[in-house]
Structure 1
Amino acid sequence: MNAGSISGGHGAPGIEIYYDPERNDAVVRWGNALGGIVACADGGNTLGACVAAAAVEQSCKDEFVRLSGLADELAAFDAVFLTAGGPCRPEDGQP
């Protein structure tokens, strides 16, 4: 399904965005979980509370708590969920 396009100026669109509503791989689930965590935090909850309530593996929550004790919650969130090679950031192609 073509979800939209962005024109680069004149002529045909420079970028077309496609969306597959049937796709449910590790990257999609990760993106959905991150969206929920961010929405929760934007709603006024702490990042720790939002991760605790998130639909992620318990091992991700445990690692977040462990790293939060060594640094701050934002650094822990980055290390666990956002950094390439992090324990809870999937690689493209994972089921």
Structure 2
Amino acid sequence: MKWVENSTPEAIAQSISPQFPDADLEILTKVVKRYKDQDTWKPDLVLTKEGLNHMMDIVELAGELDKRAPYEKIVTTKFAEEAMKNIQ
């Protein structure tokens, strides 16, 4: 996540392009830039309630979310917290 935070959309798109062999690099770069502009990728791996709401706002604006799920029912931070301990 630190690399994504500090890298350009072009560098990220180039790096992930093998996972999207049918995607045009220019379009992939635009998508990555949009994700960065929306602050979709956070350097902290723990999904907060605010982070989930932000994500649901984006999905809702796209017309793809009929009902919001309660944070407490769908999120566990246990694994992310453990991973963060290992990278600090």
Q: Mark yes or no: TM-score above 0.5.
A: no
Q: Which has the higher helix share?
A: 2
Q: Look at both structures and tell me which one has the larger radius of gyration over its CA atoms.
A: 1
TM-score (norm 1): 0.26
Structure richer in strand, relative to its length: 1
Normalized against structure 2, the TM-score is what?
Answer: 0.26
RCO greater where, 1 or 2, for CA within 8 Å and sep 6 or more? 2
